[in-house]
Every structure is written in structure tokens, then in C-alpha cells.
Structure 1
Amino acid sequence: MSAEGSYQISTVASSVQHEIQRLQGQVALFWEKEVKHYVEFGLRDGHSVVELGAGPGYVTENILRQFPHTRAVAVEIDPLLADYAREHTLSSFGDRCEILDGSIMATGLPDDTFDFAVTRLVLEHLPDPVSAVREVKRILKPGGTAVFVDNDFEMHIMTYPSIPELRLLYEAYCESRIAEGGSPRLGRQLPSVLRQGGFAEIDFEVICAHSDLLGDEMFLKSEGIGIPTKLVKDGFLPSKTLAQIAYAWRNMIRHEQNSILRQLYLAAGRK
């Protein structure tokens, strides 16, 4: 999560603690499918792994738990999130994990260091994602793999029964992030961004989470009200629209055949 772009935890949501909990839910929502793709693209136990823009550390934590002989470095520019990762998320892994204060734009890490890199929901917040991709490539070993995961907010949550007002929420979110230097529709551009960043053997996947398989509660934990509330406060979303969304969401959840669908966009490349 980069303070250089459109995501800063102290300003993006109405409550820092609630936003950290949302980030944890967001990782949990996709992890089972996501890690299968990491393995498909080459992640192996015993690899040296780096996560760029690690936030509170939940992805790195999952990797260390699932791959017990792996060592990881987590890089995070936001001091609040880096401290949270040290104190609450990654403190139990000892010398298997190092948390560094640093930027994905200039990590300060040596060339040709890591077997595998993960950059999750970071590029979409940066004004220059291609330069970030080049920095990730620089610190990978020859033959190493990087995976980049991002959203595309024209194709975010869909529901049954449908909530048409969600489109207005995502348009407001895009307007807000673009004003702050982000690219909230980056998901569809990932293969091109990796190619411009110098990666080879590029692959692309869309991974989906569905409430019929995971339950409604997983989606509630991964979304929250903090960011929409901040959009209202900052003038990007009318309060009336947020109230309409809340009312429609409540009715959707109560529907006996309700469904919630969300996607993430994942691209991998080899150095």
C-alpha cells in the first residue's frame, strides 16, 4: 500500500482499524484460489519471496504458514501498516521474515535476490505502475517470477438481486482514486504493464469469489462501509446514493436466493 499514490490508510477510510480488518477480509476472500495460481506460476516451498506493498502483512503471513521452509521480505511504505505487520501479523515468524520500510518504486534491495515476488492491489494506486514493475523485475533472480494482482472497478462486485446504484459507487471511487494519482481500472491492463516493465512469459487470469461457495459473511468482511463513507465526506458520492445502496444491499442479503460475485485480475511474468 503506497503513500506515493492513491492509497493512504490514514485518509482512505473513515477508521484505520476497520480498514485493516477489511484488508484482512479481502485477503481471506480470495486466498484459496489465489495461492493455487502462485503455485501454478512457480512458487515453491524454500523459495525466497518478497511482497511489495505488503500492508499489514496478511499475504506474507499466509505464504509463510503454507510454505514452512520459505523466507520472506515484506516491503511497506506506510509506517503505520509496517508497524502493524511487525507487531501483530508477522511477529511469530522470527528470522523467516523481515519487514522493511520502503517504496516499491525504489526498494533499495539488491539486484537478482528473490525467486518469487508478489505485488497485490498496489499498482492500481500508483501514478507510474510501469516503473514499479521494472523495480520488481530488478530484484528478482534470473528466471524468477512475479505475480501482480489488481482490481478493475468497472467490473467489481455484482449481486443478485441486482443493485444498480453500485455502479454509481464505483464511478465515484474511480473519480476519487484518479484524482489522487491512481488507476482504478488497471486490472484489464496488467499484461501490457508487465510487458512494458520488461517481463517475459506473461500470463493472465481472472479469479472469482462467489457467495454461494464462501458465504455472505466473507464478502461483508472484505468490503465494509469505511471507503464509501469517506467518498460521501469528500464530495464524490451523494449521501442519498449511499443510503439507497445500504437499503438495497440489506434487501439483497435477505433474499433467499441472493448471490454476490467479485473478481480480481492476476498477471504473472518471468525475468
Structure 2
Amino acid sequence: MNQQGSYQINTISSCVEAEISRLKAQVELFWDKEFKHYIEFGLSDGMLIAELGSGPGFVTEKILGRLPNTKITAIEIDPFLADYARKYLSQKKFSQVEVLQKSIMQTGLAENFFDFAVIRLVLEHLPDPVNAVREVFRILKPGGKAIFVDNDFEMHIMTYPNILELRELYDAYCRSRYAEGGNPKIGRELPNILKRGGFSKVDFEIINAHSEIVCEEIFFKSEGIGIPVKLVQDGFLSSKSLGKISMEWRNMLKDENHSILRQLYIGIGEKLV
């Protein structure tokens, strides 16, 4: 298994452009609540931040937009995404960021250097998440903190009325990611993994996005059809099942009282002095 693990932009979805759009919507879906946790656990303006697994740069953009005096070193292993982030952030006129094409497993960054680290939706794709956490721990200053955000596909999208067939979709997704060395149910393991990686004062939170609170359209954009189509193409999900899911999704939306819920899991740790 290569260090990139179970997420490659060119293979996870049937369309790269659609996947980029989905990643952007996935940030928008949670950001207001998510950023409150970042601040609550110590992120402040003027810090030196490491963002590991920074993808297209959408989280980087959000942080710099709220905390303009921070400096971010963004690490991304995928050459396409690293290049995309450089161009995207440059177009946004952000100068206080450096994007490096490196692995979270071996960043090559200085020891005891950063005040804060953000690792969002990365550990779930890695075959060796504990050693990734140890590398984050190494580059933080004593007293530095890190936030790890991940999924747990035991509970992903939930709806009212309930769509039973979504379980089949998520089971197929999990089989696909497990086959590539990932762990799509890692959310529940975050506190244990952080402690094994060296962190102390570990805490754990769940953030929710609900269609009665945030724009329903952002849910649609943050899911998309690209990954389910790829699951069908790769033999993890039948086309008949995907058709049934699509039909039940449309029926759910016709209910005037329908709702959509999704969760993310946050593990927080500190490198003690």
C-alpha cells in the first residue's frame, strides 16, 4: 500500500471536476460549526499552522479568510491537488501560505515548529494512521494542539423518511476503502489513535449538519453521484441498487417534512510541554 492510501482524486470518483466541487461543498456544509471548535480548542490569529492533507485548498482558504495573520504550511501528497491548491490560493491573493507536495507520513518539516495543526478527512484513508499522528505530534511545538476531523460511515447521511437502501451504499463504500487500506469507520477510534500517537488532553466532539439549519442544496452538492457511480464501475455496488437508492432519495424529498442529517467526528490533542 502506498502512502496515499485509499483516496486518489483520479480514481475515487467517476469525474475529477465533480469531485473537486463535492470537496468544496463538503467544507461549506460544516464550516461554521467546525470553525467554532477550532477556536474553542485554541486556534487564534497569528499562529503558525500546519494543514496536512490539504487537498484543493478550500479549508486553507477558510482559515486564512477568518485569521488573516496566520501562516499556513499546507501538505498534500497528490500532485494534481497540490498544484490545484497553489493556483486556487494564488488566485484568491493569499500570500501567507506555502503548499508542499509531501506525505503526512514523512513531511520533512522541522520538529517542534508549529503552533497548531489541522488534519481533515485524512486519517480515514491511511493504512497507518497512528504513525501519521506521530508525525503531526513531532512537528508541533510543546504546547501545540492538533485537530483531526474524520468520518464514521456507520452513520453518514441519515434521512427522514428513512432510506433503508443507503446502508447498502455505505457498506459498498466501506468495502471499497477497506480494500485500498483505508478505514471509513475511524471516527469512533480517534481518541485512542491520538493517545497512541503521543497526544495528551485528548477530547472528542461530534459536529452535525441538518437540512433545517443549513441550505439543503449544499447537502446535494457535498454528496453527488460521482463516487456511487465509481462504486458501480468497480463492482462494489450494483446498478440496480444505485437506481433504487436514487428513486428512494427522490421520494424522500417529496415528503414535506423531510430532513437530512450528516455528522463529522473531531479528535483534539495537545503536545504537553
Counterpart position of 1:41: 41
Q: How many residues align?
A: 270
After superposition, give the CA deviation of every residue in 1:25-77 in whole Å (9 maximum; x if it has no partner).
Answer: 00000000000000011000101111000000111110000001111111000
CA contact (8 A) 2:163 2:249 kept: yes
1:70 aligns to what? 70
| Alpha-carbon offset, residue 3 of structure 1 | 6.0
Aligned to 2:204: 204
Map 1:138-157 → 2, pairs under 5 A: 138-157=138-157
The aligned counterpart of 1:250 is 250
Deviation by residue 1:108-153 (Cα, 9 ceiling, x = unmatched): 0000111010000000000000000000010011100000000000
1:187 paired to 2:187: yes
Q: Output the TM-score relative to the length of structure 2.
A: 0.97
Structure 1 residues 213 and 196, CA gap change in structure 2 (3 angstroms): same
CA contact (8 A) 1:90 1:97 kept: no
Does the CA-based 8 Å contact 2:3-2:126 persist in structure 1? no
Letter aligned with residue 250 of structure 2: R
Query: Cα–Cα, structure 1 residues 87 and 35, in superposed 2: closer, same or farther, change >3 Å?
Result: same
Structure 2 residues not aligned, in runs of 5+: none
Shift, 1:250, TM fit: 1.1
Residue of structure 1 equivalent to 2:163: 163
For 2:254 and 2:90, the matched residues in 1 are separated by 38
TM-score (norm 1): 0.98
CA RMSD of aligned residues (A): 1.0
**In the aligned structure 1, how far is the partner of 2:222 from the partner of 2:264?**
13
**Partner of residue 262, structure 1:** 262
Structure 1 residue 94: deviation in Å?
Answer: 4.2
Task: Report if the CA contact (8 A) 1:61-1:90 is conserved.
Answer: no
What is the distance in 2 between the residues matched to 1:239 and 1:89? 38
Provide the rounded CA distance (Å) in 1 between the counterparts of 2:20 and 2:47. 28
Is contact 1:216-1:253 (8 Å) kept? Answer: no
CA distance in 2: counterparts of 1:250 and 1:122, whole angstroms: 31
Q: Percent of aligned pairs with the same residue?
A: 63
Question: 1:191 & 1:6 partners in 2: Cα distance?
Answer: 22
Alpha-carbon separation, structure 2, partners of 1:103 and 1:22: 23
Cα contact 1:57–1:90 (8 A) shared by 2: no
**Offset of 1:89 from its aligned partner?**
3.5
Structure 1 match to 2:59: 59
Tell me which amino acid in the other structure corresponds to 1:191: P
Counterpart Cα distance in 1 of 2:234 and 2:152: 22
Counterpart CA distance in 2 for 1:259 and 1:270 is 37
Residue 91 of structure 1, CA deviation: 4.0
Amino acid in the other structure paired with 1:144: G
> CA contact under 8 A between 1:6 and 1:181: conserved in structure 2?
yes
Residue segments in structure 1 that go unaligned for 5+ positions in a row: none
Aligned mates of 1:20, 1:263 — CA distance in 2: 20
SS in 2 for 1:11: coil
Runs of 4+ in 1 over 6 A off after TM superposition: none
Contact kept in structure 1, 2:4 and 2:78, CA below 8 Å: no
Q: Which residue type is aligned with residue 12 of structure 2? A: V
Q: How far apart, in 2, do the equivalents of 1:51 and 1:39 lie?
A: 15
